[in-house]
C-alpha cells in the first residue's frame, strides 16, 4: 500500500516539526515500522519530485525540473517504466486513486484500475472569490474552515474507494494463489488551498497557536540568491509581508495543522481497512510526501526552496517480518530510494537505470553506517546536499550556504563565509552533480506560477 501525500512537511507528531501537530494515525504507523527522520525530496515542487520518485532518476538526469512540464515530454523519461508499471509488468494487480503522478493524463497506461481523482477547484467555486482566509483576492492562496462535511472532502472520497478495494477478496492467479496487488492512494491535502471542515479546523484555536520559530534578521547572512528564493511569492497574496500585515499568520498555521490532522484521519481509515482485510500480515506499507512546505520560516511560504522546510518529508515504511517496529532512522535518505527499495522488498527482478539505493539495509538495521547524502534540486544549477549533520547549498551563480544541524536545526546561521568550514564545504561539494541535462520542454506559464529567473539574483 503506497500512500502519497501532497505538500506535507514535518508537522507530524512523531517528527516533531510543530509542537501542536496532532497526527495519531501516522504516529501509529510509525510505531509499526521504521520512521525515517532525515528523509528528503529530490525537488521541492510537485512535478519534478514525483517524476524523480516514480522513475528512480534525479531531476538533473531526467530533465524534469519544474511544475510547468509534462513528464513524458522530457526525452530522458519519455519511455521510462514507472513504479506502478514495473509492478504491473511483473504480475501485480495495480490499483490507484487520487494524485500519484502530477497530472491526471500521466496516470494513463499505469493501472489495471484507477479510481477517483479530484482537484481543489470545486470548493473554491462553492465558496466564491472572497475565500475564507481574509486575504484580499486570495485565489488558490486561501486557508481556513469550509462548510463541508468530512465525507464530502475529495481525499475522503479517494480513501473510501481504496477502503472498498481492500475489503474485496483478492483475485486468484491461474495456480489458485492470491494475486499480489499494488495499491496507490494519493491524498492531496494539505496542498493549497488549506481548507478543512470546520469541525477539524476549530480543534486548533487561532489564539492558542504557536508560530514557527523565526530569527529577526535571519536573511541578513544569506547570499543574494538565497534572499531571492524568498521573494518568489512577493507579487502574490502568499507573501510573508502580505500575510503578516493582515494579521493572518496564526490562522494560516492553524489551517495547516488542521489539514495535517484531516489527512491523518484518512490514513487511519486506510490502516483500519488493511488491518481488517486478508492482507494484513503480508502487505508492505509505505507513506511519503512529495516535498515540504514553508509557513513563514525564513520569511518564505509554500515550497521551491533548498532549506529544510521545503526538502524534509515524512517517510514511513512497514514491512512485516523485516522492519523493526517503532524504529527511527536518522540517516539521510531520499524519495529516489523508494523505487529500488520496493523492488528488493517485493523480490522483483533487478531494475536497471535506478539512481537511488535500496533502504532495505536500513530497515533491517536503522543505525548502520550510511555514507550517502540526500540531494535536492530546485531548477537547473541550484542544489542542496544534506548529510546527517550538514546542509550545503550551492546556487546556479555560485552562491553558497552551509548549516550545522547539530547546533542550528532551524538553519538560522549561514556558515559558508567562515574559513573554518572551508574543508567541510569542499567535501560536501563533491556530491554535487558533475553534469546536468537541459530542461525538457516547458508548458505555458500557469495561472498560479510566477515569472522568475532561477539562475541569477
The pLDDT assigned to 10 comes to: 98
The pLDDT assigned to 128 comes to: 87
Residue 418 inside a domain? The answer is no
Residue 447 inside a domain? The answer is no
Catalytic residue, from 101, 102, 240, 265: name it. 102
Go through the chain and tell me how many residues it has.
Answer: 457
pLDDT in tens, the chain (457 residues): 999 999 999 999 999 999 999 999 999 999 999 999 999 999 999 999 999 999 999 999 999 999 999 999 999 999 999 999 999 999 999 999 999 999 988 998 899 999 999 876 777 778 888 999 999 989 889 999 999 999 999 999 999 999 999 998 666 555 556 789 999 999 999 999 999 999 999 999 999 999 999 999 999 999 999 999 999 999 899 999 999 999 999 999 999 999 999 999 999 999 999 999 999 999 999 999 999 999 999 999 999 999 999 999 999 999 998 998 999 999 999 999 999 999 999 999 999 999 999 999 999 999 999 999 999 999 999 999 999 999 999 999 999 999 999 999 999 999 999 999 999 999 999 999 999 999 999 999 888 888 999 999 9
The pLDDT assigned to 171 comes to: 65
The pLDDT assigned to 174 comes to: 53
Residue 46 a catalytic site member:
yes
Residue 88 inside a domain? The answer is yes
The pLDDT assigned to 26 comes to: 98
Residue 120 inside a domain? The answer is yes
Q: Which domain holds residue 119?
A: 2-408
Give the list of residues 6+ apart from residue 434 with CB closer than 8 angstroms, or none: none
Write the CATH number for 93: 3.40.720.10
Residue 116 inside a domain? The answer is yes
Residue 252 inside a domain? The answer is yes
Catalytic residue, from 14, 41, 46, 329: name it. 46
Residue 415 inside a domain? The answer is no
Residue 127 inside a domain? The answer is yes
Q: End-to-end distance of the chain based on CA atoms, in angstroms?
A: 43
The pLDDT assigned to 385 comes to: 98
The pLDDT assigned to 248 comes to: 98
How many domains does the chain contain in total?
1
Whether the Cβ atoms of residue 246 and residue 183 lie closer than 8 Å to each other: no
Amino acid at each position: 500500500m503506497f500512500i502519497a501525500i501532497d505538500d506535507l512537511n514535518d508537522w507530524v507528531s512523531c517528527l516533531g516539526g510543530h509542537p501542536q501537530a496532532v497526527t495519531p494515525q501516522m504516529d501509529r504507523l510509525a510505531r509499526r515500522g521504521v520512521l525515517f527522520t532525515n528523509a528528503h525530496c529530490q525537488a521541492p515542487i510537485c512535478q519534478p519530485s514525483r517524476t524523480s520518485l516514480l522513475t528512480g532518476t534525479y531531476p538533473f538526469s531526467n530533465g524534469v525540473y519544474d511544475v510547468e512540464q509534462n513528464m513524458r515530454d522530457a526525452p530522458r523519461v519519455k519511455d521510462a517504466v514507472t513504479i506502478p508499471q514495473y509492478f504491473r509488468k511483473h504480475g501485480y494487480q495495480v490499483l490507484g486513486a487520487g494524485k500519484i503522478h502530477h497530472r491526471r493524463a500521466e496516470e494513463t497506461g499505469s493501472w489495471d484500475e484507477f479510481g477517483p481523482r479530484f482537484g481543489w477547484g470545486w470548493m473554491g467555486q462553492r465558496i466564491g472569490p472572497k475565500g475564507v482566509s481574509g486575504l484580499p483576492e486570495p485565489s488558490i492562496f486561501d486557508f481556513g474552515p469550509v462548510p463541508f462535511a468530512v465525507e464530502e472532502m475529495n481525499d475522503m472520497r479517494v480513501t473510501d474507494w481504496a477502503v472498498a478495494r481492500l475489503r474485496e477478496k483478492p483475485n486468484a492467479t491461474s495456480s489458485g494463489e492470491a494475486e499480489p496487488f499494488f495499491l496507490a492512494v494519493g491524498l492531496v491535502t494539505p496542498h493549497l488551498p488549506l481548507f478543512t471542515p470546520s469541525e477539524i479546523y476549530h480543534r486548533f484555536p487561532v489564539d492558542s497557536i504557536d508560530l514557527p520559530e523565526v530569527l529577526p534578521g535571519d536573511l541578513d547572512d544569506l547570499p543574494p540568491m538565497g534572499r531571492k528564493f524568498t521573494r518568489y511569492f512577493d507579487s502574490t497574496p502568499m507573501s510573508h509581508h502580505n500575510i503578516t500585515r493582515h494579521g493572518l499568520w496564526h490562522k494560516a498555521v492553524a489551517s495547516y495543522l488542521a489539514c495535517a490532522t484531516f489527512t491523518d484521519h484518512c490514513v487511519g481509515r486506510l490502516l483500519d481497512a488493511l488491518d481488517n482485510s486478508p492482507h494484513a500480515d503480508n502487505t508492505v506499507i509505505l507513506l511519503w510526501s512529495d516535498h515540504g512546505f514553508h509557513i513563514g520560516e525564513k520569511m518564505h511560504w509554500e515550497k521551491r526552496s533548498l532549506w529544510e522546510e521545503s526538502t524534509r518529508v515524512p517517510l514511513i515504511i512497514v514491512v512485516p517480518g523485516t522492519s523493526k517496529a517503532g524504529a527511527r532512522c536518522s540517516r539521510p535518505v531520499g524519495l529516489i530510494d523508494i523505487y529500488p527499495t520496493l523492488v528488493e522488498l517485493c523480490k522483483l527482478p533487478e531494475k536497471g537505470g535506478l539512481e537511488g539505493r535500496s533502504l532495505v539495509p536500513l530497515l533491517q538495521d536503522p543505525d548502520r553506517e550510511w555514507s550517502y547524502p540526500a540531494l535536492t534540486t530546485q531548477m537547473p544549477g541550484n542544489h542542496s546536499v544534506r548529510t546527517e549533520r550538514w546542509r550545503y547549498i550551492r546556487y546556479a551563480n555560485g552562491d553558497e550556504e552551509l548549516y550545522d544541524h547539530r547546533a542550528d536545526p532551524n538553519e538560522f546561521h549561514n556558515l559558508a563565509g567562515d574559513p573554518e568550514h572551508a574543508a567541510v564545504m569542499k567535501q560536501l561539494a563533491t556530491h554535487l552533480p558533475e553534469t546536468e541535462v537541459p530542461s525538457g520542454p516547458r508548458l505555458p506559464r500557469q495561472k498560479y506560477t510566477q515569472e522568475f529567473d532561477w539562475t541569477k539574483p
